[in-house]
Amino acid sequence: MRDSPCWYPVEIFREYYASTVALIECGGDLNAPFGTISSPNYPNLYPHSRVCRWRITVPPGRRVTLTINDLRLEEHGTCMFDYVEVRSSVFIGQYCGHNYPGTIQSGSNKLVVLFLVDHTVSRGGFTATWSTDSSGIKNISRCLLSNTEPNVSLNHKTNCTFNAILFGSLYTVLTINAKNDNQ
């Protein structure tokens, strides 16, 4: 553990003795197509009174797929004490005890994972992996022309663009452009 990049010895002098304290950092900005995050000391007991926040960003036009592989936190019906919270542009979920969803997909190229621990009970913590997924974000281009007036000719250049981000049963229209170049 002393060779770990998360081990920082700090000497505290009080009267006639010195002790070493491990300062464990957690969280950060992660800009990679895949990786692993875990609670401090995983799979051993995590320290008390901790807030860790990971901001995961993958390339634009892609989504983050987060897989929680192990979750061993303090049990509570409403996850009041120790929990992992996941957010994209909206709240996705809060998990504690041994109950976790497995795989989570963001609605954009960003995902935030928060690990919050109170000052009492510790458990083994959590570990999760993330990867990049583009299957849920679709870029749709299509143009539909209809002749609604009797004197309108469709014999001209037309350039229509329809972009949407689709995931699950939801969709968001981003842009609609229509361009007509008469010849």
Indicate whether this model's pTM tops 0.75.
no
Is the pLDDT higher at 105 or at 134? 105
**Average pLDDT estimate for 48-62:** 94
Nearest-CA neighbor of 75 among 39, 120, 42, 113? 120
User: Does any domain span residue 107?
Assistant: yes
User: Does any domain span residue 166?
Assistant: yes
Domain end among 95, 117, 133: 133
**Average pLDDT estimate for 32-61:** 95
* Residues 36 and 125 occupy one common structural domain: yes
Nearest-CA neighbor of 61 among 164, 160, 141? 164
Give the pair of three-digit tokens for residue 123: 């458990």
Whether the per-residue pLDDT at 117 is higher than 60: the answer is yes
- Average pLDDT over all residues of the chain: 75
In the chain, DSSP assigns E strands to: 9-14, 17-22, 28-30, 35-38, 50-57, 63-72, 83-87, 91-95, 103-105, 110-117, 125-133, 157-167, 170-181
Instruction: State the residue range of the domain holding 177.
Output: 138-183
* Residues 89 and 41 occupy one common structural domain: yes
* Residues 126 and 145 occupy one common structural domain: no
User: Does any domain span residue 47?
Assistant: yes
* Residues 90 and 36 occupy one common structural domain: yes
Whether the per-residue pLDDT at 154 is higher than 90: the answer is no
* Residues 142 and 125 occupy one common structural domain: no
User: Does any domain span residue 18?
Assistant: no
From CA 137, how far away is CA 108, in angstroms rounded? 8
* Residues 53 and 129 occupy one common structural domain: yes
Whether the per-residue pLDDT at 177 is higher than 80: the answer is no
| Number of domains observed in the structure of the chain | 2
* Residues 86 and 158 occupy one common structural domain: no
* Residues 90 and 145 occupy one common structural domain: no
* Residues 44 and 106 occupy one common structural domain: yes
User: Does any domain span residue 142?
Assistant: yes
* Residues 101 and 84 occupy one common structural domain: yes
